[in-house]
C-alpha cells in the first residue's frame, strides 16, 4: 500500500506540481490549501493512514506551518512533518525540529522533495 502524504500549500500551482510529483513516485496524496483544511483531514484520519505532512510555513488561516507541525506532534505523534518556505518570518518550529532533516527551502526541486519524503517515511 502506498504511503499517504498530506501536502499543505496555498499556492495552487505549487500544490498541484508537488502533489503530481509525489503521485508519480507512488505516494497516495491528500491536498490542503491551509492548516485548517489540513487539521480537518488529520481529524478524519482515525486509523492513522497519513504518514507525513509536507507544509508551507506561510499561508492564510488560523495557523501557519509551524503551528500545524506543533498541532500534529501533539495530536498525531506518529505523523512525520516536513516544512517548506522561501522565508521563515517569525515562526517558531516545534520541539525536536531539525533544520537539516525537516526543512526544505523554496524554491525546491521536486525530485529533492520526493527523495526527502521517501527518506522520512522510511525512517
Question: Over the Cα atoms of the chain, what is R_g?
Answer: 13
pLDDT 10s digits, 76-117: 989 999 999 987 666 678 788 888 889 999 999 999 999 999
Edge-to-edge strands, sheet with 103-105: 28-32, 4-8, 50-56, 80-85, 103-105
For domain 4-122, the CATH architecture is: 3-Layer(aba) Sandwich (3.40)
**Cβ neighbours around 16 below 10 Å, total:** 13
The domain locations on the chain are 4-122
Distance CA 24, CA 102 (A): 22
pLDDT 10s digits, 22-79: 999 999 999 999 999 999 999 999 788 999 999 999 999 999 999 999 999 999 989 9
Distance CA 29, CA 89 (A): 28
pTM above 0.85, yes or no: yes
pLDDT at res. 97: 85
Amino acid at each position: 500500500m502506498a504511503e499517504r502524504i498530506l501536502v499543505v500549500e496555498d499556492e495552487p500551482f505549487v500544490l498541484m506540481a508537488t502533489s503530481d510529483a509525489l503521485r508519480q513516485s507512488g505516494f497516495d496524496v491528500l491536498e490542503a490549501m491551509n492548516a485548517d483544511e489540513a487539521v480537518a483531514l488529520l481529524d478524519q484520519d482515525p486509523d492513522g493512514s497519513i504518514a507525513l505532512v509536507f507544509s508551507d510555513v506561510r499561508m492564510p488561516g488560523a495557523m501557519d506551518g509551524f503551528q500545524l507541525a506543533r498541532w500534529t506532534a501533539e495530536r498525531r505523534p506518529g505523523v512525520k512533518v516536513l516544512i517548506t518556505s522561501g522565508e521563515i518570518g517569525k515562526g517558531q518550529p516545534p520541539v525536536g525540529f531539525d533544520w537539516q532533516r525537516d526543512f526544505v527551502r523554496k524554491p525546491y526541486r521536486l525530485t529533492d522533495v520526493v527523495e526527502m519524503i521517501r527518506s522520512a517515511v522510511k525512517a
